[in-house]
Structure 1
Amino acid sequence: MEIGLVGLGKMGGNMRERIRRAGHTVVGYDRDPKLADVGSLKELVEALPAPRAVWIMVPAGEATDATVRELSDLLDAGDLVIDGGNSRWTEDVKHAELLKTKDISFVDAGVSGGVWGLQNGYALMVGGEDADIARVQPVFDALKPEGDSGFVHAGGVGAGHFSKMVHNGIEYGIMQSYAEGWELLESAPNVTNVREIFRSWQEGTVIRSWLLDLLVRALDDDEHLSGIRGYADDSGEGRWTVEAGIDLAVPTPAITASLYARFSSRQEDSPQMKAVAALRNQFGGHAVQKES
């Protein structure tokens, strides 16, 4: 089949290549002309046969909003838009309603696989109507890993990105657990080979995972991670997962704690701990460290 792809960065560029390797035609547009097949969204739409399918892989928020709005003016009734970025699921509902006024269909696709997706395939969680998903199923099949797993029609519009949001929230918690375990082992006076301990866990243990494999790779590159600053950003999905837990009255203590740990990583000196230290000094006479 033929499909348009908007956004050819680390994810989108590899996705274009994987789809093409499966024998499909991809017309790609990116603001960087070195990456693009066409010079504009208008040219992309004109290059596709009707009914068209256009996949968006741009940053969540204003970039996605602007792309959806522009496509709503360029596409025709019967065309289809897929948002494969990391949009918040509530935005999917708004985009679907906007496009519906033009009789343009909408599918949201949570995509996981990162820079390894070209080689290993991408896990896909999609939301939308059965008929709309069936139209682009050949592209989903090209992107997903080989075998029967790696793809799910999660439900109606928004269900794909909601599923990906929860996936990333779980990812936060797993990574934080590995990180805490690593620091604990590095701090133990009688443990001398932390990297090989993690390597030994890759087979036969209940905590083996691809994230564990990637941590071992990182330790092979820098055994004590001495070249990495202890700073971790968050891309939004962790916050949204915690907020969804609040909205649905579902406790998410592990995911919430892992998100807060990332916030702590951005502070060279914690203002909160200043207050805690001052209180400990006041009620117990505990010593405080002075600013140099």
Structure 2
Amino acid sequence: MELAMIGLGRMGANMARRLQLGGHRVQGFDPGEAARAEATGHGITAHASLDALLQVMPAPRVVWLMIPSAVVDGMLDQLLLRLAPGDTVVDGGNSWYRDTQARGERLAGQGIRYVDCGTSGGIWGLSEGYSLMVGGDEAVVTPLHPLFSTLAPAPDRGWAHVGPLGAGHYCKMIHNGIEYGMMQAYAEGFALLERKQEFNLDLAQIGEVWRHGSVVRSWLLDIGTEALKHNPTLQGIAPYVPDSGEGRWTVREAIDLDVSTPVLTLSLLERLRSREANSFADRLLAEMRNGFGGHAVHRTDVP
């Protein structure tokens, strides 16, 4: 199968390489010259414009987007001027599922088919394969099965057509919400181990023990343990944790559906808290505590 990959960042380029290794013909586009140069160095034909890319793709064309959700609509604006009825667009990024459904309706008005593919695997997908959650009409998704089975860890596992348009991104959204909770649990557990100074615990050693046979073993534990092996005190790492939006969408969905998700919600709030270098709330708490109990306030404006 021939595929046009838009977005040749690390994940998009790695997906293109895995597809090529599986026998598919992939050509790409990225507005960044550095990304195009790196992709070319890995054997991917990278074009400097959408027109150049789409002109070499046979009809009906399959275009795979691996770009941030914030720029998907802008890219679709450009594609709608260039694609033809019967072409298919696959959004493999992390878009909000309601946006995906609206985009599908928009493209359908011009006879262009739309598929959402929630993609997990990160930078390890090239060697390990990607977990793929696919949404869309069966008649549109079925011809794309060779792509999904090549990208997945194995042709018969690690991917599924999970439902209609939007279902793929919905499942990936919940997947990422769970990921937030798991990461927070590991982080808090290792913080307790680190604080117990009387035992002088080797955190990487403990993580290595847990990786084998334990009920808490996981790929996230693998990553955390490797980090502790190379930097036991996490020297030079700032306590600042970004979020890319999926956790917020998950919490919003929980509220809309009246589903209690305290772990997922609190893990998101902890990420927000990590960015507060000078918390207004905590300073006000200190003043209130002083006001009713006379407790000392630690000040930053005195020597």
Alpha carbons 2:131, 2:158 under 8 Å: kept: yes
1:196 to 194, 197, 205: 205
2:272 to 251, 263, 276: 263
1-structure distance, mates of 2:236, 2:181? 24
One-letter amino acid of the counterpart of residue 276, structure 1: L
2:36 equivalent to 1:28? no
2:75 to 58, 62, 67: 67
**Structure 2: which 5+ runs fail to align?**
40-44
Partner of 2:219: 210
Partner of 2:144: 136
Partner SS state of residue 99, structure 2: helix
Partner of 1:51: 60
Q: TM-score, normalised by structure 2?
A: 0.93
2-structure distance, mates of 1:230, 1:2? 44
Partner of 2:259: 250
Query: 4+ residue runs of structure 1 moved beyond 3 angstroms?
Result: none
2:133 to 119, 125, 140: 125
Partner SS state of residue 5, structure 2: strand
2:4 equivalent to 1:4? yes
TM-fit CA distance, 1:123: 0.3
TM-fit CA distance, 1:247: 1.0
2:51 equivalent to 1:42? yes
TM-fit CA distance, 1:147: 5.5
**Structure 1: which 5+ runs fail to align?**
none
Alpha carbons 2:129, 2:153 under 8 Å: kept: yes
TM-fit CA distance, 1:32: 2.3
TM-fit CA distance, 1:191: 2.5
Q: TM-score, normalised by structure 1?
A: 0.97
One-letter amino acid of the counterpart of residue 132, structure 2: L
2:180 equivalent to 1:172? yes
Distance 1:147 1:20, change over 3 A: closer
Superposition map of 1:215-234 within 5 A:
215-234=224-243
TM-fit CA distance, 1:274: 1.1
Task: Report % sequence identity.
Answer: 46
TM-fit CA distance, 1:189: 2.5
One-letter amino acid of the counterpart of residue 23, structure 2: G
